[in-house]
Amino acid sequence: AQKITQTQPGMFVQEKEAVTLDCTYDTSDQSYGLFWYKQPSSGEMIFLIYQGSYDEQNATEGRYSLNFQKARKSANLVISASQLGDSAMYFCAMREGLASGSARQLTFGSGTQLTVLP
């Protein structure tokens, strides 16, 4: 089974509007972390936001917020007031086994290509 599922291969949003990128995950661990990364056309991976499984509040970082619904195993990224520079590939990722002190590998979804329209 897929550990991280991103069902939107491509999304379009008008500049200055908000957009939600979907991510669902599958794990039996109680302690895990969820991440979102941005990959512009230049190829570098840019860390955006993190949510821990025990965090009670949704994470926020500037215009990025993570809508964490633990019971539904979803961790959607919300970008407010989209800018042209937000056009990029966005990846959701999960790190399991945080409590066990294991190597903490990061498992990625297939990504969503976001295009911001002027």
Partner 1 sequence: DVKVTQSSRYLVKRTGEKVFLECVQDMDHENMFWYRQDPGLGLRLIYFSYDVKMKEKGDIPEGYSVSREKKERFSLILESASTNQTSMYLCASSSNRARTDTEAFFGQGTRLTVV
Dihedral angle sign, alpha carbons of residues 100, 106, 111, 114: positive
Whichever of 19 and 48 has its CB closer to partner 1, that residue is: 48
Radius of gyration of the chain (CA): 14
Binding partner 1 (rule: CB under 8 A), the pick from 13, 24, 35, 96 is 35
Instruction: Please answer whether residues 35 and 93 qualify as being in contact, where contact means their C-beta atoms are separated by less than 8 angstroms.
Output: yes
- Of the candidates 72, 73, 76, 46, the one whose C-alpha atom is nearest the C-alpha of residue 58 is 76
Q: Least CB distance from residue 107 to partner 1, whole Å?
A: 7
Binding partner 1 (rule: CB under 8 A), the pick from 6, 24, 65, 82 is 6
Query: What are the φ and ψ backbone dihedral angles of 100, each rounded to 5 degrees?
Result: -85, -5
Q: How far apart are CA 114 and CA 106, in angstroms?
A: 22
Binding partner 1 (rule: CB under 8 A), the pick from 52, 63, 64, 73 is 52
Binding partner 1 (rule: CB under 8 A), the pick from 66, 88, 96, 111 is 111
Q: Is 45 in the site for partner 1 (CB under 8 A)?
A: yes
Which chain residues interact with partner 1 by CB under 8 A? 4, 6, 9, 31, 33, 35, 43-45, 47, 50, 52, 91, 93, 98, 101-111
